[in-house]
Amino acid sequence: MTTFYIILVAMLLTLALFDLFVGVGNDAVNFLSSAIGSKAFKFKILLIFAAVGIFCGATFSNGMMDVARHGIFMPQYYTFAELMCVFAAVMFTDVVLLDVFNSYGLPTSTTVSMVFELLGASVAIATIKIIDDNALNLGELINTTKAFSVIMGIFLSVAVAFVFGLLVQYVTRLVFSFGYRKNMRYFIGAFGSVSLTSIFYFILVKGLKNMSFVGIDFRNFIIENEMLLLLAMFVGFFVLCHVLHALGANVLKIIIAFGTFSLALAFAGNDLVNFIGVPLAGLSSLQHLLAENGNAMDYNMAFLLKSEPGQWYLLMIAGIVMVLALVFSRKAHNVVKTSVALASQTSSDEIFGTNPVARALVRSSNATVRFIASIIPKRLSEKINARFDTKQMILEENGADFDLLRACVNLMLASSLIAFGTSLKLPLSTTYVTFMVAMGTSLADRAWNRETAVYRITGVLSVIGGWFLTAFAAFAIASIVAVVLYFGGIPVKYALFAVVVFVLVRSNLKYRESQKDKSQKRFEDILAVSPETKAYPLIQDYSRGEWSEILRWSADCYEKIIVGLLRENMGKLRSVNKQIKILKKHVERNRRYGSICTERLAQEDMVVKNFFLYQANDFVGDSLFSLLQIYLPCRNHVDNAFPSLDNNKRKMLLRMATSVKECIESAANMVESMAFDRYDAVRDKLREEESLIFSERKNEMMKANSENIRGEILYLTILYESWALLDAVKSFAKSSKKFLTPKLRILQVDE
């Protein structure tokens, strides 16, 4: 039995490595989003700042937080075997749950997930113990106060961070405006001093408090001289910022560099317990069991009431794994992308849709804004609007989502709020604070305009909903897993471990495949350029790739619909339904991207090409509509087992299935290869097929009424919509040719 528990602890430590990897993938948004969104540094340089902060924070952390040992459950009432079920359930649940959130690009709180997993697993085992021993009660076995404080921390951190982000950024923008460089010499000292003081105070209070090398004397010194220390830092940084600005240094970049480092340091030093606290508690339990030669089934775990530091070599390994995860985890970059996209000042791909709540909030907010605007004097309103003129916006690099000033406010305010919450012993989540500060500052900067507000609000609501879902899912899943482990014994523990590892490996392999989206990469390249760098060739490359793929997919769907109808194969028709839904998303995305792409066109390109881009996307949408109008009656006919079509109609449809597919594919090949010298041949082929279909429909309508009325209506519908489909493809071919071919040069000859 002892050998089994040694293997189980080894399994927990192995899962800790997975947890570190997926945990960093989720929490990277905390310290990377501001610097990435503003493009303050090259990504490799930014990773160096963050990696150093993570490694230092992990290596010098005490590596253990009491919540993993006795913060949720009362260990003196549990045996070694019971708590090992709790620890295993927590780790099995945590790595999978965080990986799911990372896959969808949703930032969540690793602290909340761990606390509620511990709570769920502990409650499950406690319930089993109470059933066996009526003398026990849940209040003795579980520390519900800690869980309640975390829930309150969620509400507090969300509301406070958003409101402060909105107010502070609004005042900052009023002072500096979007053309902030002209005001830097007047205000950089005060702004830089406040920012750096907040960040360094955050490092001292939040980042260093759990470091193993920091003695009690140093901590007491900080507490006793806190105000004097803050005043000294403020004055020193005030002078330093003015001197650096006078020497030509970019003070805002310095603030961002230290802010990124400080948040990474605090993340690794304080949140490390979320990933390895439970496995280390299991390791400590095993060491005590072996040292005292105890029996796992009745060995009391009261020793967990005492705190123990983590082994330095394990902490160093954890730091190395976290750095590697930061560098190589694609899911980490995906989570950061979500936060940056929701805060973007410029037009970008809106990764969320809309929902009724978001639409209602937008309408009510617009009404409130109009009311406030009506009571503000006109001259004052004009002055305020001038400070928020985005035409003056200064971006460090092409493709930046917001400016350096907002990035500094994000980091400074997040550091201040987290440090303040820590001093009040409030369980603020770094994820919640950093995300909501970023949302508040983006709203203050009017990044949520009439075109994007409904998408951004939907995104924020989705992320916040995910936070509460984390708590519920963590509690429910961990409790179920704990019960299964308790009654399943050794085989179930091994089996669940194998399943978790399999799920994680498969998830990452599938995610890598899903990231091989060349069209998405091409679109991101378009967003990264300005009109002056000639975005037109990139837009051409993106459009022809998307258009040709959609046409080929449509041709394949058309053939499958006809074949599915003739063979009365509902399985084939259902598969087409899935393809059409995906096609619809692609078409809608292309229309949305088309609008964004036109903003990147140079003026001369926009005048000549803008119309044809819109037109081509519209005709692709028309072709999809015709395809859907063919699919729906065919599916209904087969699903209801209506009478089959006669042989002549079946032969005609079989011929059309092949010929229409060939016509559409010829247009797709022409567009993809940009071989528009074949345009006349492709157009004539489409016209010829249209003519045949039109003639067949006309002849069919002139025949005497058929006994199979349903079949007759279906056949005429297919003929008409097939003709409409080819007509849309023909019109698309013409528009795509005009968009993709080089624009005509108008030569002026002097008379």
User: Collapsing DSSP states into helix, strand and coil, what is residue 394?
Assistant: coil
Tell me the range of 99-113, 308-322, 364-378 where mean pLDDT is highest.
Answer: 364-378
Single-letter amino acid code for the residue at 289 = L
In the chain, the amino acid numbered 723 is W
> What pLDDT is stored for residue 63 in this prediction?
45
pLDDT of residue 744: 44
Confidence class for position 103, pLDDT limits 50, 70, 90:
confident
pLDDT-based confidence at residue 201 (cuts at 50, 70, 90): confident
Stretch among 328-337, 466-475, 483-492, 662-671 having the lowest mean pLDDT: 328-337
Q: How confident is the model at residue 745 (pLDDT cuts 50, 70, 90)?
A: very low
Per-residue pLDDT band for 667 (boundaries 50, 70, 90) equals very high
As given in the structure block, the two tokens for residue 293 are 């030669």
Residue 473's Cα: distance from chain center in Å?
19
Q: Does 515 have pLDDT greater than 50?
A: no
Determine the pLDDT at residue 98: 79
Higher pLDDT, 537 or 212: 537
* pLDDT attached to residue 479: 92
| 522 pLDDT above the threshold of 80 | no
Percent of the chain with pLDDT over 70: 84
pLDDT confidence of residue 579: 86
- Whole-angstrom distance, CA of residue 550 vs CA of residue 547: 5
Identify the residue with better confidence: 223 or 256.
256
Give the separation between CA 67 and CA 112, rounded to whole angstroms. 11
pLDDT at 267: 73
Report, at the CATH architecture level, how domain 519-740 is classified: Up-down Bundle (1.20)
Token code pair at residue 656: 């059309």
List CB contacts of 436: < 8 A, sequence separation 6 or more.
157, 158, 161, 162, 165
- What number of other Cβ atoms are within 10 A of residue 174's Cβ? 13
Note the pLDDT of residue 429: 73
Helix (H, G, I), strand (E, B) or coil at 300: strand
Burial 318-338 (b: 16+ CB within 10 A, else e): bbbbbbebbeebebbbbbbbb
Give yes or no for residue 683 having a pLDDT over 70: yes
pLDDT at 597 (0 to 100)? 66
Predicted pLDDT of residue 688: 92
pLDDT at 518 over 80: no
Mean predicted confidence (pLDDT) in 173-190: 85
Q: Confidence class of residue 707 from pLDDT cuts 50, 70 and 90? A: confident
Using 50, 70 and 90 to split pLDDT, how confident is the model at 143?
Answer: confident
Q: Is the pLDDT of residue 609 over 60?
A: yes
What pLDDT score does 750 carry? 39
338, pLDDT greater than 70: yes
Ranking 118-132, 267-281, 722-736 by mean pLDDT, the lowest is 267-281
Q: What angle do CA 489, 293, 275 make, to 5 degrees?
A: 55
Between residues 61 and 292, the one the model is more confident about = 292
Burial class (CB in 10 A: 0-12, 13-18, 19+), 575: middle
- b/e per residue 201-229 (b: at least 16 CB within 10 A): bbbbbbbbbbbeebeeeeeeebeeeeeeb
Q: Which two three-digit tokens encode residue 260?
A: 């990124």
pLDDT at 105: 66
What is the spatial distance between Cα 434 and Cα 609, in angstroms, rounded to a whole number?
Answer: 42
For residues 522-539, average pLDDT: 61
pLDDT at residue 417 above 90?
no
CB-neighbour burial class of residue 549 (10 A; exposed 0-12, middle 13-18, buried 19+): middle
Lowest mean pLDDT, pick from 325-339, 426-440, 479-493, 682-696: 325-339
- For residue 113, give the nearest of 68, 70, 158 by alpha carbon: 68
44-74 pLDDT per residue, tens: 888 888 888 888 777 766 544 566 777 788 8
Mean pLDDT of 361-379: 81
Cβ neighbors of 360 (< 8 A, separation 6 or more) are: none
Q: What percent of the chain has pLDDT over 90?
A: 14
Q: Please, what is the average pLDDT of the chain?
A: 81
Query: pTM for this structure?
Result: 0.73
CA distance 166 to 406: 11
Residue 512 pLDDT > 50: yes
Per-residue model confidence as pLDDT tens digits over 625-641? 999 999 999 999 998 88
**Segments making up each domain of the chain, as ranges:** 2-516, 519-740
Average pLDDT of the residues in 682-695: 91
How far, in Å, CA of 636 to CA of 692, rounded? 26
Q: What is the pLDDT of residues 710-720, one digit of tens each?
A: 888 899 999 99
* Average pLDDT of span 658-675: 91
Say what the pLDDT of residue 604 is.
Answer: 52
Q: What pLDDT is stored for residue 724 in this prediction?
A: 93
Q: How confident is the model at residue 463 (pLDDT cuts 50, 70, 90)?
A: confident
Query: What pLDDT does 112 receive?
Result: 80
State the pLDDT at residue 519.
54
**What pLDDT is recorded for position 666?**
92
Which tops the pLDDT comparison, 531 or 90? Answer: 90
Dihedral sign of CA atoms 640, 646, 647, 653 in order: negative
pLDDT of residue 746: 37
Q: Is the CB of residue 64 less than 8 Å from the CB of residue 307? A: yes
